Amino acid sequence: MPNIYKNTRKTAMSTDEDEKIENAMFQEPDNYFQPEKPYTHTDYILLSGKKLRLRLVGHNPLWGHYLWNGGQSLSTYLQKHAPTLAHGKTILELGAGAGLPSLVAAILGAQKVVVTDYPDAELIDNLAQNIATCSLLPQPAATIAAEGYLWGSSATSVLAHLPFPHQGFDVLLLADLLFNHSCHDALVSTVAHTLAHTSDARALVFFTPYRPWLREKDMAFFDLCRHKGLEVDKVVEEIMEKVMFEKDKGDELLRRTVFGYEVRWKDLIETRR
């Protein structure tokens, strides 16, 4: 019969050796952690010809290190319709990345802009930095604030930026968010809870079908909006100069096209009619 207690007594030396082996098992190999990528900068030229410089995070799993085509197209649309969409308006941006549309709205004379993204410290710090360094903003730049916000969660802290929180925002900005199919429910819930229930309030949803074979899933977002009592109208179809991701598959023209939709409360639109 084998001795099941054999070798259970260890010397101090063997214990030390075992600890070294055990520790080594939990040590990451060399180069396991990639070095942090530095911030980059990019410029956006306003229709006025003025240059807006943005800092982008070096890398982020939430894709905040890109200046997306949808955000650029939405920013242009805001400028073309500034009296209706920016002047004196209260504005909330969701999933803002570098915050380009929000900065443009503030430059155009919005009453209050709240620019939000996932509550990741680096993303929110970068948004705050872009606000602090934007020389085109009205001074002092108290009209715009950055905050972390998780779609679908309580919007109390976001609405608290408004003079009358219960009324909601005049304009919501959503640029290139629809590829997050699993987040559609939470995103639509946030739209419904933060959009003012007035006849001229609207959410501007701009996106590109970067994966053309999943375009129907992108568009399913608008079906959820309709179920919430919102009406959906297409307002923009803009072909951008370049695709964002050259190595992606699918129709290149479609991957270069930004589609813009306006989402408003259906009952209030019908009342005005």
Burial label, 234 (beta-carbon count in 10 A; 0-12, 13-18, 19+): exposed
Answer yes or no: is 88 a known binding residue. Answer: no
Task: Write down the pLDDT at residue 268.
Answer: 81
Answer yes or no: is 213 a known binding residue. Answer: no
- Per residue in 84-133, pLDDT tens? 999 999 999 999 999 999 999 999 999 999 999 999 999 999 999 999 99
Answer yes or no: is 151 a known binding residue. Answer: yes
| Average of per-residue pLDDT across 140-145 | 86
**Can you tell me the distance from the alpha carbon of 141 to that of 106, in angstroms, rounded to the nearest whole number?**
9
Among positive and negative, which fits the CA dihedral 268, 269, 272, 273? negative
Answer yes or no: is 96 a known binding residue. Answer: yes
Asked if 190 contacts 169 with a C-beta cutoff of 8 angstroms, the reply is no
- Per residue in 172-222, pLDDT tens? 999 999 999 999 999 999 999 999 999 999 999 999 999 999 999 999 999
User: Can you give the length of the chain in residues?
Assistant: 273
- Per residue in 22-78, pLDDT tens? 444 345 455 544 556 788 899 999 999 999 999 998 765 555 577 999 999 999 999
Answer yes or no: is 142 a known binding residue. Answer: no
Q: What's 182's DSSP letter?
A: G
Among positive and negative, which fits the CA dihedral 264, 261, 45, 210? positive
Q: Which fold has domain 66-272?
A: Rossmann fold (3.40.50)
Task: Write down the pLDDT at residue 61.
Answer: 53
Answer yes or no: is 196 a known binding residue. Answer: no
Answer yes or no: is 117 a known binding residue. Answer: yes
**Can you tell me the distance from the alpha carbon of 103 to that of 127, in angstroms, rounded to the nearest whole number?**
10
Give pTM, 2 decimals: 0.85
Among positive and negative, which fits the CA dihedral 46, 52, 53, 58? negative
